[in-house]
Amino acid sequence: MSAPGPVSVDAAAVVDLLKTLVGIPSVNPSVAAGGAGEGAIARCLAGACERLGLTVALEEVAPGRPNVIAVLPGADPSRGRSLLLNGHTDTVGAGAMEAPFSPSLRGDRLYGRGVFDMKCGLAAMVEAVAALVRAGLRPRGDVVLTFAADEEHASLGTAAIARTRRADAAIVTEPTQLRICIAHKGFAWVMLRTTGRAAHGSDHAAGIDAIAHMGRVLSALERFDREVLARRSHPLLGRPSLHASLISGGEGPSTYPPSCELGVERRTLPGETPEGVRAEFDAILDRLRREDPRFQAAAELVIARPGLEVDRGTPIVRALHAALERHVTPSPEYVGQAAWFDAALLAEAGIPAVIFGPSGAGWHAAVEYADLPSVAACAQVLAQVILDFCGTAPA
Query: With contact defined as beta carbons under 8 Å apart, do 272 and 340 qualify?
Result: no
Same domain, 174 and 106: yes
- Report the phi/psi class of residue 11: left, alpha or beta, with left for phi > 0 and alpha for psi in -120 to 50: alpha
Confidence of residue 352 (pLDDT cuts 50, 70, 90): very high
Q: Give pLDDT, residue 259.
A: 98
Gap between the Cα atoms of 78 and 252, Å rounded:
70
Mean pLDDT (the chain) is 97
Report the pLDDT averaged over residues 276-302.
98
User: Would you say residue 2 has pLDDT above 70?
Assistant: no
Confirm whether 3 is domain-assigned. Answer: no
Last residue of a domain, one of 281, 305, 329: 305
User: Would you say residue 322 has pLDDT above 80?
Assistant: yes
Same domain, 331 and 343: yes
Q: How many domains does the chain have?
A: 2
Give the model confidence (pLDDT) of 44-72 as tens digits: 999 999 999 999 999 999 999 999 999 99
Same domain, 224 and 357: no
Same domain, 170 and 237: no
Same domain, 232 and 357: no
User: Would you say residue 264 has pLDDT above 60?
Assistant: yes
Same domain, 297 and 320: no
Domain extent at residue 270: 186-305
Confirm whether 5 is domain-assigned. Answer: no
DSSP 280-302: HHHHHHHHHHHH-TT--EEEEEE
Give the model confidence (pLDDT) of 119-159 as tens digits: 999 999 999 999 999 999 999 999 999 999 999 999 999 99
Confirm whether 347 is domain-assigned. Answer: yes
| Helix H or strand E encompassing 101 | none
Same domain, 260 and 291: yes
Report the pLDDT averaged over residues 334-356.
98
Same domain, 268 and 368: no
Report the pLDDT averaged over residues 213-231.
98
Query: With contact defined as beta carbons under 8 Å apart, do 110 and 23 qualify?
Result: no
Confirm whether 1 is domain-assigned. Answer: no
Confirm whether 340 is domain-assigned. Answer: yes
Confirm whether 22 is domain-assigned. Answer: yes
Q: What is the CATH number of the domain that holds 323?
A: 3.40.630.10
Last residue of a domain, one of 257, 274, 305: 305
Q: How many C-beta neighbours within 10 Å does residue 37 have?
A: 23
Confidence of residue 393 (pLDDT cuts 50, 70, 90): confident
Last residue of a domain, one of 251, 277, 305: 305
Confirm whether 41 is domain-assigned. Answer: yes
- Report the phi/psi class of residue 205: left, alpha or beta, with left for phi > 0 and alpha for psi in -120 to 50: alpha
Same domain, 296 and 206: yes
The DSSP output letter for 234 is B
Q: Give pLDDT, residue 123.
A: 99
User: Would you say residue 4 has pLDDT above 70?
Assistant: no
Same domain, 159 and 192: no
Give the model confidence (pLDDT) of 80-133 as tens digits: 999 999 999 999 999 989 999 999 999 999 999 999 999 999 999 999 999 999
Q: Could you tell me what percent of the chain has a pLDDT over 70? A: 98
CA distances, 38 to each of 46, 149, 274 (Å): 12, 6, 30
Confidence of residue 395 (pLDDT cuts 50, 70, 90): low
394 vs 54, which has greater pLDDT?
54
Same domain, 338 and 389: yes
- Spatial CA neighbour of 353 closest among 226, 180, 169, 144: 169
Confirm whether 70 is domain-assigned. Answer: yes
Q: What is the CATH number of the domain that holds 247?
A: 3.30.70.360
Report the pLDDT averaged over residues 230-243.
98
- Spatial CA neighbour of 91 closest among 145, 43, 21: 21
Same domain, 130 and 231: no
